[in-house]
């Protein structure tokens, strides 16, 4: 049962990423057409696009951590026997979690400072609202790394061999 819910969550994340990417693409194309053909544009398109790219980057990074396709330095564990490989894996995952959780903490502080002197973002939405993705995204990545620290490390793949 939990595996089924987890699979649904993963599909929802992937769908959200695809929808966000498609929306950003459509918004950009619409903005180009409006500027070229009608010498006008949507005044809210640029800030929404900037926030959308931030959301896309953090959601993409979250998806990469889910599937283990994030950037990782794994040269040392490839040459270690299973038991030390497991220890190095756990240490590296906890270190990555600490970095992500620190970024979430500092992101929350940034959102807090922005809340003290908010600037309008779009149509009455304060500027701190889209910034919430920073502490949320890094916090979720940190949790994923912590969970991964207690799981088995991926099988070491030797360069040139088939997985």
31-65 tens-digit pLDDT: 999 999 999 999 999 999 999 999 999 999 998 99
Instruction: Please answer whether residues 110 and 134 qualify as being in contact, where contact means their C-beta atoms are separated by less than 8 angstroms.
Output: yes
Amino acid 2: pLDDT:
75
Contacts of residue 89, defined as CB under 8 A and 6 or more positions apart, other chains included, come to 77, 149, 153
Distance in angstroms (rounded) separating the CA atoms of residues 106 and 134: 9
Q: What is this structure's pTM?
A: 0.84
Higher pLDDT: 66 or 162? It is: 66
Size (the chain), residues: 163
Instruction: Please answer whether residues 11 and 46 qualify as being in contact, where contact means their C-beta atoms are separated by less than 8 angstroms.
Output: no
For 70, how many CA atoms within 13 A lie in the half-sphere containing its CB?
Answer: 19
Q: What is the mean pLDDT of residues 92-99?
A: 94
**Structural tokens at position 80:** 């270690």
Q: What is the mean pLDDT of residues 106-129?
A: 92
């Amino acid at each position: 049962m939990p595996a089924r819910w987890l699979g649904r969550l993963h599909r929802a994340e992937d769908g959200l990423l695809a929808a966000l990417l498609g929306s950003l693409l459509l918004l950009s194309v619409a903005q180009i057409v409006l500027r070229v053909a009608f010498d006008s544009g949507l005044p809210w398109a640029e800030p929404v696009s900037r926030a959308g790219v931030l959301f896309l980057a953090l959601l993409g990074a979250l998806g990469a951590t889910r599937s283990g396709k994030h950037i990782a330095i794994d040269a040392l564990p490839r040459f270690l026997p299973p038991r030390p490989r497991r220890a190095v894996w756990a240490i590296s995952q906890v270190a990555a979690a600490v970095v992500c959780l620190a970024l979430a903490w500092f992101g929350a502080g940034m959102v807090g400072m922005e809340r003290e002197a908010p600037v309008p973002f779009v149509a009455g939405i304060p500027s701190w609202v889209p910034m919430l993705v920073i502490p949320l995204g890094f916090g979720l990545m940190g949790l994923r790394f912590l969970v991964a620290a207690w799981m088995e490390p991926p099988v070491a793949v030797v360069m040139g061999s088939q997985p």
